[in-house]
């Protein structure tokens, strides 16, 4: 029986996010995957994680555990680090996931590595840093390796697991519930996939020129069921909301397909998208650095090329 | 009631420059790019100054870093902060986030504060974990990724809008608390000439590991709980095809997407 690898499942009311299946697949390569599901809907999420290989499922089905900022999740994971002595804890490399990992590291006396894109034998974390220009291999040398893994790093593989159900009761310290979430406000528009998880991202930059100009970006994104991103120049100019910024001061994405329209490709932006599998760029300036990255580039006006592409996609999809 | 605020700042290599690692000890090569204040920390300082303008109180800068980081501290003071604490010790070189949070937590133990404000992420390590680690170490409310901060020093309460993937959460806590801010929270001011001149006279206290009662062996590269085994340059991306639009650019991209099986 190989050592457990604990995977924190990210879900919304029982609807499991794809990154969780990716982490279970990764965990199965290095040990026995155990899923941890916390919050309302945990029971509903159970079948899905078992389908992706969970040998054990730790369930803390209590809505109160998600009404405080990260503390209760840290407490539960710390309990499992103590009781199950796992070979590693894997957490999705989202904003919240990294915070959970950081606190768990301090609480459990463990080293932490964030933003891994792969895990190799011996629990070696592979990271892609400096905008993807450098590949780093790191290990945790003290305590239990706590590693956050970026979405889209692994292809999830279905493989039915034993799915042993283990109920967990959280033992909370007062500070675990000191930051209370009183309201959840959804601002997202149009039901598009989440930027960090999306298989395809369509981004606009300075060249889009105005908030209205992003209409072209959104239409193209919707034709591909893609998320919409924006460069720093575009968010700073108020063309598109800040939370959609891709780059060093924004989100890091690694989709299968990244389409950049009117983005020059400064290091600031490249740092957030350079590890995308396939990159397509449209820019007026033939000297734009984005073309050095692009698998396919078109020197031209995004307001001509973009709508034509949207039309072509609609036609070809029939 | 006044609100005493500590703002943590970090000196980082310029985020617009290419970065690399040192061959020798596999740490970030900080000499290869101009050192600047971590950009998100400017938003933290701005927010602290705005809260000070509203409620009164002291704004103290806390910075861990080598001698050179003194420049970043001066910049923070020239924006309007009142004084600073510089945690400086050669043994800190190569510290991981766990050790960094331990040193910052120890330094915070030497001052009275109602709020600690940090940028939500540094542009060099980009781990985004230190604010949460500080909340853990100090057992204080974790009020992170704030895009809006409202403090009520009389009621001793704090309300923030915590940025999420699809919007924001409204989060409430008591004071003191640990806050991290995101870029959209405000527009940081530029230091004025008067501010720059005044900053030269503002007090900067230095603290060594000994003064913080931290064993040097527990921090720095040797004390890190995780370490880099090896690193390599990623092979450059293979040059792709670049065409000039002749009225069929969109169609050409669609053709390309078909060959790559995206359509």
CB contact under 8 A, B136 and A106: yes
Question: What is the least distance, in Å, from the CA of A50 to any CA of chain B?
Answer: 26
For position A104, what pLDDT does the model report? 98
At B185, phi and psi to the nearest 5? -65, -35
CB contact under 8 A, A141 and B140: no
Q: Which pLDDT band, with edges at 50, 70 and 90, does B27 fall under?
A: confident
CB contact under 8 A, A248 and B15: yes
In tens, the pLDDT along A204-262 reads 999 999 999 999 999 999 999 999 999 999 999 999 988 899 998 888 899 999 999 99
Which residues in chain B touch residue A74, judged by CB atoms under 8 angstroms apart? Answer: 136
Residues 52 through 81 of chain B touching chain A, CB cutoff 8 Å? none
In tens, the pLDDT along B126-176 reads 889 999 999 999 999 999 999 999 999 999 999 999 998 888 999 999 999
CB contact under 8 A, A141 and B254: no
CB contact under 8 A, A298 and B252: yes
Selecting from A71, A185, A317 the residue whose C-beta is nearest the C-beta of B170 gives A185
At B183, phi and psi to the nearest 5? -60, -30
Supply the DSSP symbol for B185.
G
**Is B23 in CB contact (< 8 Å) with chain A?**
no
Enter the tokens of residue B184.
Answer: 């959209």
Alpha-carbon Rg for chain B, nearest whole angstrom, is: 22
Mean pLDDT of chain B: 94
**Is B237 in CB contact (< 8 Å) with chain A?**
yes
Which residues in chain A touch residue B127, judged by CB atoms under 8 angstroms apart? Answer: 98, 102, 112, 114-115
Question: What is the least distance, in Å, from the CA of A205 to any CA of chain B?
Answer: 17
- Three-state DSSP state, B262: coil
Residues written for chain A: 318
For position A190, what pLDDT does the model report? 63
Peptide bond into B176 cis (omega under 30): yes
CB contact under 8 A, B171 and A180: yes
One DSSP character per residue, B188-229 reads: PPPPPHHHHHHHTTS-EEEE-TTTTT--GGGSTTTT-SEEEE
Which residues in chain A touch residue B130, judged by CB atoms under 8 angstroms apart? Answer: 102
C-alpha dist (Å) from residue A18 to A117, A147, B97, B146: 15, 17, 28, 26
In tens, the pLDDT along B51-94 reads 999 999 999 999 999 999 999 999 999 999 999 999 999 999 99
Which residues in chain A touch residue B180, judged by CB atoms under 8 angstroms apart? Answer: none
C-alpha span between A48 and A43 (Å, rounded)? 10
CB contact under 8 A, A133 and B229: no
CB contact under 8 A, B230 and A137: yes
Q: Counting one residue from A and one from B, how many pairs have CB atoms under 8 Å apart?
A: 291
Percent of chain B with pLDDT over 70: 100
Q: Which residue in B128, B162, B184 has the most chain A C-beta atoms within 10 A of its own C-beta, making it the best mutation to test that interface?
A: B128
Which stretches of chain B are assigned E, i.e. beta strand?
A: 5-9, 11-13, 35-37, 59-64, 83-87, 115-119, 142-152, 157-164, 167-174, 177-181, 204-207, 226-233, 241-244
CB contact under 8 A, A292 and B239: yes
Which residues in chain A touch residue B21, judged by CB atoms under 8 angstroms apart? Answer: 134, 136
Residues 142 through 201 of chain B touching chain A, CB cutoff 8 Å? 142-145, 147, 161-174, 177, 182-184
Q: Which pLDDT band, with edges at 50, 70 and 90, does B29 fall under?
A: confident
Supply the DSSP symbol for B130.
H
Which residues in chain A touch residue B40, judged by CB atoms under 8 angstroms apart? Answer: 249
**Is B106 in CB contact (< 8 Å) with chain A?**
no
A170 and B149 in contact (C-beta within 8 Å)?
no
Which residues does chain A have with pLDDT short of 50?
Answer: none
Is the pLDDT at B262 greater than 80? The verdict is yes
Averaged pLDDT for residues B6-21: 86
For position A189, what pLDDT does the model report? 61
- Residues A118-153 as b/e (b if ≥16 CB within 10 A, e otherwise) read bbeeebbbbbbbbbbbbbbbbbbebbbbbbbbbbbb
For position A165, what pLDDT does the model report? 96
For position A161, what pLDDT does the model report? 94
CB contact under 8 A, A112 and B226: yes
């Amino acid at each position: 029986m190989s050592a457990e690898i604990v995977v924190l499942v990210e879900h919304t009311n029982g609807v499991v996010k794809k990154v969780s299946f990716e982490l279970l697949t990764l965990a199965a390569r290095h040990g026995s995957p155990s899923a941890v599901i916390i919050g309302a809907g945990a029971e509903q999420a159970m079948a899905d994680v078992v389908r992706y290989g969970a040998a054990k499922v730790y369930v803390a089905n209590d809505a109160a555990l998600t009404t405080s900022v990260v503390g209760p999740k840290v407490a539960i994971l710390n309990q499992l680090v103590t009781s199950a002595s796992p070979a590693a804890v894997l957490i999705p490399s989202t904003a919240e996931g990294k915070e959970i990992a950081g606190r768990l590291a301090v609480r459990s006396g463990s080293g932490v590595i964030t933003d891994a894109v792969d895990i190799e034998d011996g629990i070696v974390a592979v990271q892609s840093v400096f905008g993807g220009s450098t590949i780093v291999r790191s290990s945790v040398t003290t305590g239990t390796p706590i590693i956050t893994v970026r979405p889209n790093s692994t292809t999830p593989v279905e493989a039915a697991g034993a799915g042993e159900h283990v109920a967990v009761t959280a033992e909370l310290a007062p500070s675990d519930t000191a930051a209370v979430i009183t309201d959840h406000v959804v601002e997202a528009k149009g039901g598009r996939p989440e930027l960090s998880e999306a298989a395809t991202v369509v981004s606009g930059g300075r060249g889009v020129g105005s908030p209205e100009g992003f209409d072209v970006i959104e239409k193209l994104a919707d034709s591909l069921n893609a998320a919409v991103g924006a460069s720093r120049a575009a968010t700073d100019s108020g063309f598109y909301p800040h939370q959609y910024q891709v780059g060093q001061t924004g989100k890091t994405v690694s989709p299968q397909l990244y389409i950049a329209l009117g983005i020059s490709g400064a290091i600031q932006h490249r740092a957030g998208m350079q590890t995308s599998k396939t990159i397509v760029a449209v820019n007026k300036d033939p000297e734009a650095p984005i073309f050095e990255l692009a698998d396919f580039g078109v020197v031209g006006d995004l307001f001509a090329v973009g709508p034509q592409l949207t039309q072509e996609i609609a036609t070809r999809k029939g | 009631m006044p609100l005493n605020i500590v703002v943590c700042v970090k000196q980082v290599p310029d985020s617009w420059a290419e970065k690399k690692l040192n061959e020798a000890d596999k740490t970030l090569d900080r000499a290869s790019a101009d050192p600047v204040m971590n950009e998100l920390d400017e938003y933290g300082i701005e927010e602290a100054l705005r809260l000070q303008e509203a409620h009164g109180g002291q704004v103290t800068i806390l910075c861990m870093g080598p001698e050179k980081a003194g420049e970043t501290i001066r910049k923070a003071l020239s924006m309007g902060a009142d004084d600073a604490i510089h945690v400086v010790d050669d043994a800190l070189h190569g510290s991981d986030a766990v050790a960094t949070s331990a040193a910052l937590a120890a330094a915070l133990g030497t001052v009275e504060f109602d709020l600690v404000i940090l940028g939500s992420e540094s542009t060099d390590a980009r781990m985004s974990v230190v604010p949460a680690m500080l909340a853990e170490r100090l057992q204080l409310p974790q009020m992170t990724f704030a895009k809006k901060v409202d403090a009520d020093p009389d009621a001793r309460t704090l309300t923030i809008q915590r940025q999420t993937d699809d919007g924001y959460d409204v989060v409430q806590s008591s004071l003191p608390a640990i806050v991290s801010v995101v870029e959209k929270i405000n527009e940081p001011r530029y230091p004025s000439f008067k501010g720059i001149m005044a900053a030269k006279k503002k007090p900067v206290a230095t603290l060594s590991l000994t003064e913080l009662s931290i064993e040097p062996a527990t921090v720095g590269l040797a004390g890190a709980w995780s370490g880099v085994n090896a690193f390599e340059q990623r092979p450059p991306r293979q040059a792709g095809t670049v065409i000039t639009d002749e009225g069929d650019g969109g169609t050409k991209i669609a053709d390309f997407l078909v060959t790559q099986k995206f359509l």
